[in-house]
Structure formats: structure tokens, C-alpha cells
Amino acid sequence: MQLYPPGKKELFSALLKIRPSSLLLISVVFSMISTELIVMPMSIYFHGRVTSDFFITGIVCASVVSLIVCYFLINLSGRVLAAQAKFKTLFESATDALFITDFTGKLIDINRTAYERLGYTREEMLSMSLKELDAPEAAKKVSRRIEKLQRYGHSVFESAHISKNGGIMPVEINARVMEYGGQKVIFGVARDISERKRAEKDKDTLLREIHHRVKNNMQVISSLLNIQARHIEDKQLLAIFQDCQNRIKAMALVHEELYQSNNLSRIDVKHYIGALLDGLASSLSRKPDVALTVTVDKIFFNIDTAIPCGLIITELVTNSFKHAFRKRERGEISVELRQDGGVFNLMVKDDGVGLPDGFDVENTASLGLQLVHTLAAQIGGTVEILSGRGTEARIVFEEVRSGTQAL
């Protein structure tokens, strides 16, 4: 593809648009000139005078020849100039910065927006290369990006330019390899995305604030339950309150993780499960001496997967603390979350007494294991609970798409 000056195709289609009246006029003028200069001297040379036959044939031939010559010379150059002017106007008046560089990153041509926006003159900017024009972090990537462009021919990426007074301008570059004056060049469109970046930052701040508030509200609910629980003497009822508090904490922790992380949509699962189990272990510490082993791969979940996953772990680990080590001095609980391609394997295991004989895990009236099944279904998982020398729960699931689940 050729941008400027126009290519052969553009010239040819321009030629077809020449008005017939102007062609006729030009050919008449040329035929008169050629009659004077060629036909009449030839007639005199052959016949000693100007014959009418020679004269008419000569005029017709001269008209045709002049028509063709005019067609190619006069109109061609006129259309070329017009097309050039049109492209130059478009190039210069674009509101995005346009630049043409060679494959070393040296600037060959730029439009007005490009140099005015960064505070340079055209001459100053044309003496620079992309590396000098880019902010330090972006400049390091210039060579790699040019290589990529040479390989694929087209590339869109975010970068940052540095203005003459040192200001940084975030830009989105849409670059393409093109032909320009017979040589291959890079043609780039740089769009100023300062506004978009500011809006993204504002949105991030807002989201962070929301996560912070949700977490605080959940903490308030948990504290209210705590205050209420002080008036409860029934141990069973007290345990129910405590379980509810732990479930709320598991959810609050997800929001805390999110507002503290750099990425507001991904939760560092290893960090989250570590914090979750620390909290659980300290709230259930009255139980026997329990060694907790945690093995989690480097995984990042969205909130819709992290919350069910955290609640499942809460239920299963609470069960182990509560039921597995009755009448025992010590025990072991291990929690494992492994990634295998797009599939995640969660395992919560203890070396306790195991489930009661004849216990039907699928049809229990108690809330805990029912919750485990419901939450696993939310993340499209399967639950398998094995009992023998201890209890082992295995849940296999995939990450759910964000926004598809509701708790």
C-alpha cells in the first residue's frame, strides 16, 4: 500500500475522470501546432504544395496523437498534483499525530499535530528518532517493536512520548509497514490517551474504594455477631455464630485482597488462602494442637471464583478443626490447590477420625457440606469426599467467567 505520493492505480482512476471538453480543446490546439510544424512541411516536401488530402489526413492523425500526448502529459501532471495536495492536506490536518519512520526508528515525515503536540518544530522533530521521542520505559522497547512490525506488518500498542518540556504523554500507537516513495517504511498513528488513562485511574480508585468499603461493612457485620455472641451461653449456638463470622471473614478477605493489590480484577490465590487459613487457625485455636500445611500454586482468580473457593476451604477446614480430632491431642490438616492446565484441583485432608459410619455426604441436613456442594456447583466443580484414616475432600473445577455467578 502506498500512502503519499499516490500510486499508479490512483493516477489511472484520476485520468479516467478528465472532462472530455478539456481534452477536445487541448487536442485541437495540439493538432493545429502539429499541422503547422509537421503536416504542412511534409506535404510541401512530397507534393511541392499543400494538398487537401494530405492536409485532412494529417490533421486527423495529428489530433489523435495530440489527444494521446495531452492525455498523458498535461492531465496526468495536473491530477498528480491534485492528488498529492489532497493527501498532504489530509496528512497535515489529522488530529492524531502521524509519523513515518525507517526501520531504525529515524523519523522521515511527520504531520503538524505530531510536532506541535510535543512542543517541537518540524525540523527539530525530524532530526530525532523514535527512541529520543519515547519516554525512557517505552524507548527500551522500540527495537523489539520494530522487529515485530517487520515480522507481522501491523501492530497496535500503548506507549508514552516525552514532550520538549519533559512532560510524559501516554499514547496508543497503530503502526503499519507501508511503501513510501518506493521504500518500505513504518507509518504510525499516535493517539493521545491521557484522558482515557485518567479515567481508568479514577475508575481504579473508585473500585478500590468500593472494595475497601465492602470489606469494612463485612467487618462491621462480623463485629456485631461477635458482640451478640457475648450474650450466648449455649456452646452449640456460640459455635454457629463463630462459623458465620468465619464465613463473612472469608468473603471480606477477598475484598481486602483486591483493594490492596495492583490488579483490581485478579486475586493472588496463594496469598488469599494463606491469610484465610491464618485467620481460621487463630479463631479455632482452642482445638487440639493442629499442624496446618498449605500448598498452593501461583494462581490468580477473579472474584467470582475466589469467593466460592475461599468459602469451600473455610467449611472443610472448619470441619477438620471441629470434628476430626475429637479426643485427640494433635492432628494434621493439609490444604492443596494445584493448577493443571485450565483445571484446578483443590484438596483438603486431615488425619482425624473420619466421617461417622454410614454418613451420607450427599444428603446431609447440616449446612456446612451442603454449602460445599452448592458452592462447588457455582464454579462448575465436582466434589468427592473420601473417608478412612481421616477425611479427604477433592474438588475439581475451572475458573468461572467474571460476572456470571451470584452468591
Ligand X SMILES: Nc1ncnc2c1ncn2[C@@H]1O[C@H](COP(=O)(O)OP(=O)(O)OP(=O)(O)O)[C@@H](O)[C@H]1O
Q: Which residues bind Mg ion (CB under 5 A)?
A: 319, 368
**Contact between 236 and ligand X (CB under 6 A)?**
no
The one among 367, 374, 394, 405 contacting ligand X by CB under 6 A: 367
Report the residue number, 365 or 406, with the smaller CB distance to Mg ion.
Answer: 365
> Rounded to whole angstroms, what are the CA distances from 76 to 6, 24, 69, 81, 123?
12, 16, 10, 9, 32
Report the residue number, 345 or 370, with the smaller CB distance to ligand X.
Answer: 370
What percent of the chain is helix, strand and coil (3-state, nearest 5)? 55, 25, 25
293 C-beta neighbours (distance < 10 Å), count: 11
Mind giving me the DSSP string for 3-61? -SS--HHHHHHHHTT--HHHHHHHHHHHHHHHIIIIIHHHHHHHHSS--HHHHHHHHHH
139 C-beta neighbours (distance < 10 Å), count: 18
**Contact between 366 and ligand X (CB under 6 A)?**
yes
Mind giving me the DSSP string for 305-330? HHHHHHHHHHHHHHHIIIIITTT-SE
174 C-beta neighbours (distance < 10 Å), count: 15
Stretch of 4-12, 18-26, 299-307, 359-367 contacting ligand X, by CB under 6 A: 359-367
Query: Shortest Cβ distance from residue 318 to ligand X (Å)?
Result: 7
Query: Shortest Cβ distance from residue 340 to ligand X (Å)?
Result: 25
Query: Shortest Cβ distance from residue 365 to ligand X (Å)?
Result: 8
Stretch of 4-12, 197-205, 279-287, 351-359 contacting ligand X, by CB under 6 A: 351-359
DSSP assignment letter at 38:
I
**Residue ranges of E strands in 217-288:** 267-268
Q: Is 396 left (phi over 0), alpha (psi -120 to 50) or beta?
A: beta
289-296 and 330-340 strand pairing: parallel
Mind giving me the DSSP string for 190-202? EEE-HHHHHHHHH
Please give the Cα distance from 74 to 77 (Å, whole number).
6
391 C-beta neighbours (distance < 10 Å), count: 24
| Residue 400 near residue 379 (C-beta atoms within 8 A) | yes
- Could you tell which of Mg ion, ligand X, none binds residue 274, using a CB distance below 5 to 8 A set by kind? none
Report the residue number, 169 or 324, with the smaller CB distance to ligand X.
Answer: 324
Cell of 65: 496523437
The one among 353, 394, 396, 405 contacting ligand X by CB under 6 A: 353
Report the residue number, 5 or 368, with the smaller CB distance to ligand X.
Answer: 368
Instruction: Return the residue nearest Mg ion (CB atom).
Output: 368
The residue assigned the cell 475429637 is 326
Helix H or strand E segment including 396: strand 390-398
Q: 3-state DSSP call for residue 350? A: strand
**CA-based nearest residue to 290, from 232, 334, 228, 354:** 334
Report the residue number, 318 or 378, with the smaller CB distance to Mg ion.
Answer: 318
- Could you tell which of ligand X, Mg ion, none binds residue 352, using a CB distance below 5 to 8 A set by kind? ligand X
Stretch of 14-22, 178-186, 268-276, 361-369 contacting ligand X, by CB under 6 A: 361-369
Report the residue number, 73 or 291, with the smaller CB distance to ligand X.
Answer: 291
- Could you tell which of ligand X, Mg ion, none binds residue 378, using a CB distance below 5 to 8 A set by kind? none
Q: Which of residues 378-407 bind ligand X (CB under 6 A)?
A: 391
Query: Shortest Cβ distance from residue 260 to ligand X (Å)?
Result: 29
Query: Shortest Cβ distance from residue 360 to ligand X (Å)?
Result: 10
Q: Which of residues 162-201 bind ligand X (CB under 6 A)?
A: none
Stretch of 51-59, 230-238, 354-362, 395-403 contacting ligand X, by CB under 6 A: 354-362
Q: Which of residues 289-328 bind ligand X (CB under 6 A)?
A: 315, 319-320, 322-324
The one among 369, 375, 379, 383 contacting ligand X by CB under 6 A: 369
Residues binding ligand X: what is the number (CB under 6 A)? 20
Residues forming contacts to ligand X in the complex (CB under 6 A) are 243, 315, 319-320, 322-324, 350, 352-356, 359, 364, 366-369, 391
